[in-house]
Amino acid sequence: MAEATQIEFPAVEEVRLRRLAMPLEEPIRSGIHAIDSIHLFTAEVSAGGSTGLGYAFSFRPNEIAAVAALGADLAKVVMEGRRGVRAHWQAMWDHLNFIGHEGAGVMAMAAIDTALWDLLAREAGLPLYRLLGAAEPGVDVYGAGGWISWPVERVVEEARSFAAAGYRAYKMRVGSRDWRGDAERVRTVREALDPGFGLMVDVNQAWSVDVAMRFGQALEEVGLIWIEEPTDAQDHAGQARLARRLHTPIAAGETLWGRRGFTELLAAGGVDVVQLDLMRCGGITPFMAIVPLVEATRAPVTSHLFTPISAHLLAACARPYMAEHLPSWFDPFFAQPPRIVDGTLLPTEEPGIGLELAASARERWEVRS
């Protein structure tokens, strides 16, 4: 990322924060979440005639209000002095020392840090992936959904729609109290799809290690791409036990906070696919610092949501695997959908990340109180 050090970062002139709340057409359930709305916190950082955009999300209004409240404090930090992007990140990190480096504060700084990188790339006249040193962008993309609150026929229909659109694979939810019933749902979906179309499942941490083990063993012959977060995300030893005993790869990492969480995960060993969540990492700055730690273990790197931004970040990885796209949650907020061509996620070629809030989203869903 030598290019980033050669560009003078302008003094931040304004940080504009917003909250948006989009109700879902119908509630949905994963193994541990009941979701009826998506709440967005956005940060727009302006300087030198350019504006960068970043965001974080949650499922409840009070949660995103907490993110916004801490974001307002962090906005003052980046307004205090002229710094480079990484120095801004460090100043925000230091500011959060008392309240801690997990949760709402880290989510808020992730949005601001992303906006700062977007701003830097716009000022440089480069798409972010080129600023980060990537030359040949493009990574396979899979579609996500398949909620456990849906009948299996609807899951099959959604999976087929992603396959018809050219996606490489599909991720469905499991994690109900009846793991055997979940296993049957997975078999039904697998049998309904073309053998060349990939399928993975997401438990969302709903099961114990023993239940996840029985589920995984029952489906070994199905050929799943991975089983995601089969148990408590902090139980690295349990995940490693699953990875050692099962042939199906184990994916984890999206609910870990900052670099320390990944250091602990990698030290425990046994996780086959490492997932990075931009907002829990704390932004682009730590995301790109964590990637080499993962690549040193030769584990593939994949991202959790944040599809348009992940297009740039994964392009800059040496061993990117696949990117996730969940269209119904985030696409309505932005003016441009992610660039997906024949199952490949591509970053935009305009300067920055190429992300703008849709005027219609601001009009319909902005929280103005």
Per-residue pLDDT of the chain (369 residues; tens, 9 = 90+): 444 445 678 899 999 999 999 999 999 999 999 999 999 999 999 999 999 999 999 999 999 999 999 999 999 999 998 899 999 999 999 999 999 999 999 999 999 999 999 999 999 999 999 999 997 889 999 999 999 999 999 999 999 999 999 999 999 999 999 999 999 999 999 999 999 999 999 999 999 999 999 999 999 999 999 999 999 999 999 999 999 999 999 999 999 999 999 999 999 987 999 999 999 999 999 999 999 999 999 999 999 999 999 999 999 999 899 999 999 999 999 999 999 999 999 999 999 999 999 999 999 999 997
Is the Cβ–Cβ distance between 202 and 182 less than 8 Å?
no
Q: How far apart are the C-alpha atoms of 317 and 357, rounded to whole Å? A: 27
pTM for this model (two decimals): 0.95
Task: Name the architecture of domain 130-346.
Answer: Alpha-Beta Barrel (3.20)
Q: Which CATH number does 2-125 carry? A: 3.30.390.10
Q: CA torsion angle for 190, 319, 312, 203 (degrees, to 10)?
A: 40
Q: How far apart are the C-alpha atoms of 103 and 109, rounded to whole Å? A: 10
Q: What was the pLDDT predicted at 6?
A: 57
Domain range annotation of the chain = 2-125, 130-346
Is the Cβ–Cβ distance between 339 and 347 less than 8 Å?
yes
Identify how many contiguous H helices and E strands the chain contains and give both numbers. Answer: 15, 13
Q: How far apart are the C-alpha atoms of 46 and 112, rounded to whole Å? A: 11
Is the Cβ–Cβ distance between 50 and 25 less than 8 Å?
no
The crossing angle, in degrees rounded to 10, of helices 152-164 and 179-192 is 40
Residue of 272, 342, 276 lying closest to 314 (CA atoms): 276
Q: How far apart are the C-alpha atoms of 197 and 269, rounded to whole Å? A: 29
Tokens found for residue 39:
């709440």
